[in-house]
Amino acid sequence: MAERARSGAWVAKGIHRTVWAGLTFATTDTGAPTKYHRLADKNVTVRGTFGAGGSVVLEGSNDVTDPPTNWYTLQDVAGNAIALTAANPTEQVLQNTLWYRPRVTAGDGTTSLACELVATGGD
């Protein structure tokens, strides 16, 4: 498993965007964990080449350790697991955890994805 670096920036007052690029299935990549607990509203989008059966889940953790070790798949507002299997879907994230990361769970040798997490709040 390879951990992909993240890049992030404030795009407007109270809106932060984090991107994990180069996520592949060849090494069942995860994104480097990021914290967003102070920004309560979040949505996630995935773009790129999914390959055969490509899928990315968004995971959260409430571990106080850095980095966290216990992860679970987050849910959308309808209570469904966030498992993105097509380019450009955007899902609203239900849980407000301490940590977030994407994890590639399926695909083939052509799978190459970028995951974007946008968080908004009063900061």
Domain count across the chain: 1
- Tokens representing residue 73 in the block: 């798949």
Residue % of the chain over a pLDDT of 70: 98
Task: Give the CATH number of the domain where residue 69 resides.
Answer: 2.60.120.10
- The domain in which residue 47 lies consists of 3-120
Cis peptide before 67 (omega within 30 of 0): yes
pLDDT, one tens digit per residue, over 26-73 is 888 999 999 987 898 999 999 999 999 999 999 999 999 999 999 999
For the chain, report the end-to-end CA distance as a whole number of angstroms: 34
pLDDT given at position 123:
53
